[in-house]
Chains A and B, each alone.
Chain A
């Protein structure tokens, strides 16, 4: 069961739910893009909100099991993964 943490400002699309759990088909590796497509079937609008010109929106990073997934939409999601969409880390020093 994959757990997707929904960004606070998109929770109106999930009926207020902060987390959504999904059973993914285990016949093929699942990418973040595929995960979002599955999610969008249940909660219309999520895909559009998180994508920009076909890619993950600039300024948003995907974290899988607490590691920033640099492959973005192409990153692989495990069957028990925890997935967050949060702003990436930037710095100043």
Chain B
């Protein structure tokens, strides 16, 4: 394959540099304003009463005692929410039934998970609000709960809803079930494919529920004014999708609601759904005061959307030369307490890296008495791909092939089809695998002491486009301001400034990036799907180009020529007739007032040309044979990043994603009691990796520019969470000779596997 050459690749002045982030000083000094920092003189504090039961019918709610307490200003229950129709709509993340959106905010007839909001109180201080909430008397009829998606599939399992039947593209079954969605992809002739195979592997895998673990808990402050206008300050990944959801749940006009996105302390997909915002609005409407609600860490774990627990059966067939000829995959994804479609996304990802002539993928979304799951960094892809990567590793060992060579033999390339039928455009999986194989890490001998080994695995995420808006204003001194609607989670202010600076011939420091609220910029979708640098960056590029075109007209006035006689090259306006000295934006800007006034470029777009992301990770590990603890000796993450706009932040995204994946692989899991209670709802017991657990993660940036973006950008933030589970699993298997097919591969689970260790380990 010929290497792809982007026309401007390697010729950038600003792109590829590493300027200090524009918001850095405010963040390290504590001046940056987060949602919990909001304070008004007449502010009230809210507290949410939550269900102590994972599954219960709500018989009555008596608020009289609480209302009579001094300092209590208002109490709301689901009766204060408008009744919403039983209607499916596109919401902030995929699709959701309006009725369930309302029930998720405040339970009406049933509590469907422990922590399900039942009522909320506004009072003069947080302690009074909590005391009053606990004085609300709720009578429940406790029902049997089910928290495991496989258990929820069993005949006779408790049903969360009497009226939900399995929906399959509009075809509904008659019998009530916990399966809310069935997705299937099918290609070729499965039986013939397996008949052709020389080696067939059929394995089962399980993963636990895990949380995104963002540092900042959810919060919302609302002020409902007497004229009907509402302002909401919140920690969200998307001010506009948050506004859409608030308006839907409260049946309000969008123009009545202004959402101001505060700085965000992490989200990873978990801050796309709304939780507290409508409750804060209702309490503010009742009291006329601003009302602030902040979740505790236990609330975050027990009531916001984590990532699905899953179960999988994966069957792959290979020819002797390593060619994959057939795949049969069945998976069940925990949906949580309300219908969702994250399993459908898993179905798109599970075999995506590989060329396969014959396949069938069946994925079920299964209701459970747990919080409705939410997006988590490359949502559904990690659970889907690690099992496939385990089988790929087994096959490589059985066939006597290098594990990267086996993947290279089957790697999807441009023109191949993804399992759902989408035809791959230019992708960089092959280049990523080649870079991994050529890396110093992979070329060095694997660790070879007892219980040490190396594992590799690939990961995939499709990335997203969606809608974005941007303005670029030229200041009178020749600097510029960039305004977008994209919340800055991972350094996007710097990326936007870099792309605007590149387009305008300025330095990154000469461009001031700003994140606007919903009244101040055109609609912009979530900071999610690894879309911001791609899509909002594309809007910034077009807005800067718009400004350049406007400025050409101004230069034409000064030079008394036609705008078409002027080119903008190398950061300056140049006469095609060679009659004038080149003029930079800095030189032109002071003359804008006398040539027609201010210049502001703008763009609102729905871009095509999204570039998929592939990564390959290499992990060297050692297993403590006494405790089962896994120590990472060395870790390298290789990824096709398109064009690295700010390489330091790209490397940071990859390190962060790999670290989250390592936590998912080794330690993180929700532990439930038999009554459906989460038993480890805090960071002491929910074991996320710390700096002591993870070595420095080496990153190798492979740049295969995306032809669908003017600067070759691909999303980079999500792909790196996908390979770690497979890489760690394969390394552990090669170290101890046993495959641990359930996540997390925690010390007790590895210890149990060691107890069954065969006499001769799998050779490295």
Contact = CB atoms under 8 A, between A and B. Distances in A.
A53 interface: yes
B422 A93 contact: no
Interface residues of A, number: 31
Nearest to A60: B169
A5 B417 CA distance: 13
B379 interface: yes
Given A84-B422, A86-B348, A91-B529, 14 more contacts: A9-B184, A48-B170, A57-B88, A66-B423, A66-B425, A67-B608, A86-B421, A90-B529, A91-B461, A92-B269, A92-B272, A93-B269, A93-B489, A93-B530
Interface in B694-746: 715, 717-718
B89 A91 contact: no
Given A91-B375, A93-B528, A52 B489 contact: no
A87 B610 CA distance: 16
A84 B461 CA distance: 20
A22 interface: no
Nearest to A86: B420
Interface string B396-423: 0000000000000000000000001111
A57 B87 CA distance: 11
Closest 3 CB pairs of A and B: A91-B529, A92-B269, A92-B375
A89 interface: yes
B236 to A, nearest CB: 14
B606 interface: yes
B344 interface: yes
B38 interface: no
A68 B608 contact: yes
Interface string B519-555: 0000000111111000000000000000000000000
A39 interface: no
B95 interface: yes
A90 B464 contact: yes
A1 interface: no
A91 B420 contact: no
Q: Which of A48, A68, A84, A92 has the most CB of B within 10 A?
A: A92
B187 A91 contact: no
A66 B425 CA distance: 9
Interface in B586-607: 606
Q: Which of B170, B171, B360, B718 has the most CB of A within 10 A?
A: B170
Interface string B84-95: 000111100111
Contacts of A90: 93-94, 345, 375, 379, 464, 529
B452 interface: no
Given A8-B186, A58-B95, A91 B269 contact: yes
Contact of B169 (A10, A18, A68, A89): A10
Contact of B610 (A60, A84, A89): A89
Contacts of A91: 269, 375, 378-379, 461, 463-464, 526, 528-531, 715, 718
A1 B715 CA distance: 35
Nearest to B532: A93
B245 interface: no
Contacts of B465: 68, 89
Interface string B181-202: 0111111000000000000000
B88 A58 contact: yes
Contacts of A8: 184-186, 360
A27 to B, nearest CB: 29
Contact of A18 (B90, B187, B425, B606): B187
B275 interface: no
B376 interface: yes
